[in-house]
């Protein structure tokens, strides 16, 4: 972790303010909840969120563990990064995979992205929250990502069964968050609500936060499928007729299960390059996410069911 006054000098007023707001939110959860957990998805947003948590409680350690919902289909580099991060920062890492989904042989290729996401992410998350009886869970979602996220609260109330009812959300005034819940109810907390993708990268650069190398351009084996570039991270993904693996210089703007995460052709090999590229980008970050285009309003549907 980067420390010392040097890094402060490089933070703009804007990022300093976002940082302080997020730290305030993270501390609030530690103060008010019995058993919180931080969802750690290994991506750039999770990286920033964890970094903020480490800062929020200094010189104490964050008083909660990390939780990774492992679908079994993450890029291998992501898993390596995850385990290194946990060891590097000395934080407790919990990993959960839906055993029923594994038994049923659910996977993103044969089962389709929708069923795979439902069983291996949404259901798995609910199982994990129930198993460890967490009453609050941090997520790295941002309001600028997607339309239904733009209306999400910072403290998002979930009734028993983890249901999100967009019509029955608590109004959030000032920074006076209502943290009260009854037994069985939970709260999802989004400390990065007011960050944009550009903020995330600029902060990552200023604070020198480690990120998965997949974000940086490099020659990688990909296949072109439905106009998208998919990286074959292992041989569980069979080639279809007429497809050929080719090596191209690509990177990822958003990371998930490898068969569902499309790469972009890019020469951005450093954080500076990524930020420069973003400033001229003409597509949104989630455009490479195959799960979002399943159907109209698909994110809202998934969120109602308990997806983050």
Of 39, 124, 206, 257, the one binding other proteins by CB under 8 A: 206
Of 182, 183, 226, 242, the one binding other proteins by CB under 8 A: 182
**Smaller CB separation from other proteins, 27 or 96:** 27
| Cβ contact 251:215 at 8 Å | yes
Query: From the CB of 21, what's the least distance to other proteins, in Å?
Result: 8
**Smaller CB separation from other proteins, 111 or 287:** 287
Q: Is the dihedral of CA 292, 294, 300, 303 positive or negative?
A: negative
| Footprint (CB under 8 A) of other proteins, residues 46-65 | 54-61
Query: Which region, judged by CB under 8 A, interacts with other proteins, from 89-97, 101-109, 143-151, 250-258?
Result: 143-151
**Smaller CB separation from other proteins, 50 or 120:** 50
| Footprint (CB under 8 A) of other proteins, residues 16-45 | 17, 19-21, 23-24, 27-28, 30-31
| Footprint (CB under 8 A) of other proteins, residues 222-261 | none
Query: From the CB of 130, what's the least distance to other proteins, in Å?
Result: 20
**Smaller CB separation from other proteins, 127 or 179:** 179
Answer yes or no whether residue 132 interacts with other proteins by CB under 8 A. no
Query: From the CB of 151, what's the least distance to other proteins, in Å?
Result: 5
Answer yes or no whether residue 186 interacts with other proteins by CB under 8 A. no
Of 35, 100, 208, 267, the one binding other proteins by CB under 8 A: 208
Of 180, 243, 247, 265, the one binding other proteins by CB under 8 A: 180
**Smaller CB separation from other proteins, 244 or 296:** 296
Answer yes or no whether residue 284 interacts with other proteins by CB under 8 A. yes
């Amino acid at each position: 972790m980067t420390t010392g006054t040097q890094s402060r000098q490089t933070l703009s007023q804007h990022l300093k303010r976002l940082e302080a707001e997020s730290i305030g939110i993270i501390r609030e959860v530690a103060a008010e909840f019995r058993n919180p957990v931080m969802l750690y998805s290994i991506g750039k947003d999770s990286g920033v969120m964890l970094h903020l948590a480490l800062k929020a409680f200094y010189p104490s350690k964050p008083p909660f563990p990390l939780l990774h919902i492992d679908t079994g289909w993450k890029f291998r580099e992501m898993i390596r990064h995850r385990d290194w991060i946990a060891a590097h920062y000395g934080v407790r890492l919990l990993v959960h995979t839906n055993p029923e989904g594994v038994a049923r042989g659910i996977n993103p290729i044969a089962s389709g992205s929708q069923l795979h996401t439902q069983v291996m992410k949404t259901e798995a998350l609910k199982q994990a929250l129930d198993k460890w009886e967490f009453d609050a869970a941090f997520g790295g979602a941002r309001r600028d990502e997607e339309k239904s996220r733009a209306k999400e609260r910072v403290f998002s109330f979930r009734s028993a069964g983890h249901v999100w009812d967009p019509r029955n959300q608590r109004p959030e005034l000032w920074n006076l968050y209502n943290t009260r819940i009854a037994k069985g109810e939970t709260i999802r907390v989004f400390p990065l609500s007011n960050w944009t993708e550009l903020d995330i990268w600029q902060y990552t650069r200023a604070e020198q936060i480690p990120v998965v190398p997949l974000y940086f351009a490099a020659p990688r084996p990909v296949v072109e499928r439905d106009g998208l570039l998919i990286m074959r991270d292992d041989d569980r993904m069979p080639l279809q007729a007429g497809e050929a693996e080719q090596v191209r210089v690509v990177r990822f703007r958003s990371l998930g299960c490898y068969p569902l995460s499309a790469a972009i052709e890019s020469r951005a090999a450093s954080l500076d390059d990524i930020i420069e590229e973003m400033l001229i980008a003409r597509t949104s970050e989630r455009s490479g996410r195959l799960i979002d285009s399943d159907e109209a309003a698909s994110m809202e549907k998934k969120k109602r069911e308990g997806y983050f």
